[in-house]
Amino acid sequence: MADEASDKAVLEGAGAYFLSVVEASQDCIRVISADGHLEYMNAQGKLLLEIDDFEARNRHRYWPDMWPPQSRATVEEALRAAMAGHAVAFRAWCPTAKGAPRWWDTTVSPILEGGRVIRVLATSRDVTGERLAEDHRQLLVNELNHRVKNTLATVQSIANQSLRNAGVESSVRDALEGRLMAIAATHNVLTDQNWSAASLRQIVDGAVTPYRSNPSQLTVKGPDLKVSPKPAVVMALAFHELAINALKYGALSAPSGHVDVSWTVEPEDRLHIEWRESGGPSVRPPERRGFGSRIVEAALPGELSGTVSIDYCADGLRCAIDAPLASLDKADAFMPLG
């Protein structure tokens, strides 16, 4: 009875309708005083937090003190923001009164009267199941990433050894190993981003950096763009083939050579990427089209739904890529190799 009387005093003036809504909620709802002390908690909140003695041990308690040390700073920051008139949300860990582990999504909102904050409303939803599922999913992803890295390393070793034993010339072995390394480098970038997207700059850096003799040989310029996994792998292979070609015949084969990679977003959301070489030996068109040419001139425009043009200028190769900006964010289902 004491609980009910105190609750009614706190909610006096709010109306029976408001009280019925609060009590019917499946979330934990609290009313906190202007100095941060707990004045009210609905019945569902007491049930979720396994509180049997709210009146004796929890009413008028400083709200952040009800959270564990690792969550307290977050709670206090949210409380200060609400006191300043701002609604904020956070996720934090807090066990129940009986020690059961729980994660909560909490929204903290100011209650205003006459333009000033007189109380704070805090609503918490139990998201423990969701959090545990996220943790389990991340554990599986980390394990998969670890296994894929090991698989790629094993494939590189097997391929290198098999080709060497078969008497295949070193240039062929190096080409295959380089392509596998380009895939591995892109995999690492995607892994860091939980396989959501890779930075275009990181893709270019990862594909070209291993083949330059000093940092001044490569310039990368362009806005920060994210590339989804499937086009990211194809782009990494394409830039790798351009870098290998530059190392063998173009700008990266000379100490004074330079590769400039830049991209811009043109009107109507078109992406324009340019690869420009300078300072290397005189360039001539190749006598035959190999795997690298097929990647750059066929696979890349196909993946990006765009066009690729290559100009074998005498003073340095030029490669221009034009595609819809949306092609970088394809929704195709894609899983790590393995």
- Considering the domain architecture, whether residues 136 and 122 belong to the same structural domain is answered as no
Task: Give the mean model confidence (pLDDT) for residues 146-169.
Answer: 72
Q: Which residues pair with 308 in a beta bridge?
A: 321
Q: In Å, how far are 173, 211, 248, 268, 291 from 170, measured between CA atoms?
A: 5, 17, 14, 46, 17
pLDDT of residue 164: 74
Q: Are 217 and 257 in contact (CB under 8 A)?
A: yes
How would you classify the pairing of strands 258-266 and 218-221?
Answer: parallel
- What residues contact residue 305 under an 8 Å CB cut-off, 6+ apart? 323, 324, 327
- Considering the domain architecture, whether residues 11 and 99 belong to the same structural domain is answered as yes
Question: Taking 80 as the threshold, does the pLDDT of residue 59 lie above it?
Answer: yes
**Phi and psi for 107 in degrees, rounded to 5?**
-115, 130
DSSP letters for 21-57: HHHH-SSEEEEEETTSBEEEE-HHHHHHTT-S-IIII
Q: Are 142 and 150 in contact (CB under 8 A)?
A: no
Alpha helices in 49-127 (DSSP H): 69-83
| CATH number of 219's domain | 3.30.565.10
Q: Tell me the pTM.
A: 0.53
Helices and strands (H, E) in the chain, number of each type? 10, 12
Which amino acid does the sequence have at 266? E
**What is the percent of the chain where pLDDT is above 90?**
46
**Residue 336 belongs to some domain of the structure:** no
- Considering the domain architecture, whether residues 146 and 285 belong to the same structural domain is answered as yes
Of 190-204, 289-303, 315-329, the range with the lowest mean pLDDT is: 190-204
- Considering the domain architecture, whether residues 52 and 33 belong to the same structural domain is answered as yes
Write out pLDDT tens, residues 244-287.
889 888 999 998 899 999 999 998 899 999 999 999 998 888 77
pLDDT of residue 336: 36
**Per-residue confidence at 333, pLDDT binned at 50, 70, 90?**
very low
- Considering the domain architecture, whether residues 40 and 169 belong to the same structural domain is answered as no
- Considering the domain architecture, whether residues 75 and 153 belong to the same structural domain is answered as no
Q: Which residues pair with 144 in a beta bridge?
A: none
Mean pLDDT of the chain: 84
**Residue 17 belongs to some domain of the structure:** yes
User: Where a domain ends, among 126, 159, 180?
Assistant: 126
CA dist., res. 177 & res. 190, Å (int): 20
- The CA-based angle 123-127-129, given to 5 degrees, is 160
Task: Give the mean model confidence (pLDDT) for residues 11-31.
Answer: 74
Nearest to 207 by CA among 183, 182, 187, 232: 182
Domain count, the chain: 2
**Residue 38 belongs to some domain of the structure:** yes
Count the neighbouring beta carbons within 10 Å of the beta carbon of residue 268. Answer: 7
**Per-residue confidence at 318, pLDDT binned at 50, 70, 90?**
very high
| CATH number of 76's domain | 3.30.450.20
**Residue 266 belongs to some domain of the structure:** yes
Helix (H) or strand (E) holding 158: helix 128-165
**Residue 148 belongs to some domain of the structure:** yes
- Considering the domain architecture, whether residues 160 and 90 belong to the same structural domain is answered as no
Write out pLDDT tens, residues 29-43.
999 999 999 999 999
Nearest to 217 by CA among 295, 290, 155, 279: 279
- Considering the domain architecture, whether residues 122 and 182 belong to the same structural domain is answered as no
How would you classify the pairing of strands 198-199 and 307-313?
Answer: unpaired
**Residue 334 belongs to some domain of the structure:** no
- Considering the domain architecture, whether residues 145 and 233 belong to the same structural domain is answered as yes
User: Where a domain ends, among 97, 126, 155?
Assistant: 126
**Residue 71 belongs to some domain of the structure:** yes
User: Where a domain ends, among 126, 147, 168?
Assistant: 126
- Considering the domain architecture, whether residues 315 and 167 belong to the same structural domain is answered as yes
Task: Give the mean model confidence (pLDDT) for residues 203-212.
Answer: 84
Question: Taking 60 as the threshold, does the pLDDT of residue 5 lie above it?
Answer: no
- Considering the domain architecture, whether residues 254 and 122 belong to the same structural domain is answered as no
DSSP-based three-state secondary structure for 221 = strand
**Residue 227 belongs to some domain of the structure:** yes
- Considering the domain architecture, whether residues 91 and 122 belong to the same structural domain is answered as yes
- Find the domain containing 169 and state its range: 130-329
